[in-house]
Each structure stands twice: as C-alpha cells, then as structure tokens.
Amino acid sequence: METQPGTETFSLMLDGNALAGLLQEVFASEMTVAPVECTSCGREGEIGSLWAFIESPGYILRCPACQHIILRMVVTPDRIYLDARGAAFLCIPTRVH
C-alpha cells in the first residue's frame, strides 16, 4: 500500500500528470502513461502516478511508496536538464502511425 503525504512539505505536491505538457514537449510522446520503476523500493507504475513537486526552481517526481526521487527536471531558456537516476527503468512510448 502506498503511503499518504503527512507533512507540510506535501501540501505542494501534485500527481505526475502536472508535468504532462512539459514531458510531452521533451519526449514528443504521451509520458504520463510511461512505466517507471523506483530504484529504491522497486515500485512500478506510470509516471502520472508519481508525486510531483513543481513549486521550486525545477520539477521533482517522487515515488509515492517510499518518497525516493525518481526524476528531476530543470528548464532554462536554452536547455532542459533531466536526471532520472532514481528510475531503474523509464519506458518511453513510441508513436505508432
């Protein structure tokens, strides 16, 4: 069972769907349904099911089971920095025509 947010920090949390537009722009694919596995606890789920923190200089997606950071993203005027080392895998869907 996934834990529920219990501290004030989590009042800023949304679900991973909050980053849907940005992820689609970066990956040119619908990413909220992309499967991902947490390196910390092994939980598998869709990116849209992760906890999203967007009230900082960057964006953070955390595992809802263990709160481990799965993905960090920072957008600057000329670059996008992506750190997904918290994911054992991130399966990027391809477009089928």
For residue 60, give its domain range. 10-90
Give the whole-angstrom CA distance, residue 75 versus residue 63: 21
Domain-embedded: residue 3: no
| Comparison of pLDDT for 87 and 3, the residue scoring more | 87
**Nearest Cα residue to 3 out of 37, 32, 36, 41:** 41
Domain-embedded: residue 4: no
Provide the residue count of the chain. 97
Domain-embedded: residue 96: no
For the full predicted model, state whether its pTM sits above 0.75: no
Contacts of 39 (CB under 8 A, 6+ apart): 68, 85, 86, 87, 88
Domain-embedded: residue 31: yes
Domains in the chain, number: 1
Domain-embedded: residue 97: no
Which pLDDT score is estimated for 10?
61
| Comparison of pLDDT for 19 and 86, the residue scoring more | 86
Tens digits of per-residue pLDDT, 35-62?
Answer: 999 999 999 999 999 999 988 789 999 9
Ranges of H-type helices in 7-71? 20-27
